[in-house]
Structure 1
Amino acid sequence: MNFGLHKSKGTLLYGIDDKPKLIVKIDPDIYFFYRNLIPKSNSYNPQKYSPHISVVRNESPLNMEHWGKYEKKEIEFLYNSNVQKGEKYIWLNVYSLELEKIRNELGLRNDLYEKTHPSYIKTFHITLGNIK
């Protein structure tokens, strides 16, 4: 049982500008609901991009032959409803074994990040705001 975790779906979108980028486009209502829970007294700026989960960002996949393999595929993910706050960002933690698998196929590591849930290697996130 996953207490505090909510299930949702999103769509995988690949891009290559200066570096490869892979995101999950999510239901914007998730972003707006949790964004509205942030007290107005906090000076967080809204997210610059449309609501999403970054899967590959500022990394160079080793196995580019798999790039684009899941374009526009709908995937499920779990997110924790506890809003997280750091020095610069405010976010929701996100978990997905499917996203971990895609990163593995691309030759990217999942274990370089802080583990916040015992059932998942990597914690993804939905950014709600920043103080940049």
Structure 2
Amino acid sequence: MQLVLRALVALSALVLLSLGAGFLLMPDVPMAPLGLSAESAVGINFLRGDAGASLLLVGGLVARAALAGDGNKLAIPIIWVLLLLGGRILGMVLDEGGLAAAPLFAADFGLLLVLLLGRWKMRSAV
């Protein structure tokens, strides 16, 4: 069970790190599938800096927990996903056509479940 959880958490880290690197290095590539657009260099810079950096940081924290096999190290990523889900819920309720973000909500909820299970069941060997 421990090995499977570590693998799922590590896979989550790889996805987050890949998304972060994508936004950091080539922000225009992940923009279209996500329905994002930037009308100026400031918008692209926001995606590159804020989205890329955020995803890389959280992905690194998740990777650290997976490598250590320590679910206690997942507290900050879990809080991050909860805030992300809160924003998605607000958008789905308040924004016109907000329910179009339901697939993103489902993906983030799946990530939350993996991280919560990892936090609950992964134990450090130290």
State the TM bucket, normalised to the shorter chain.
under 0.3
Q: Normalising to structure 1: TM-score of the pair?
A: 0.25
Structure having the higher Rg = 2
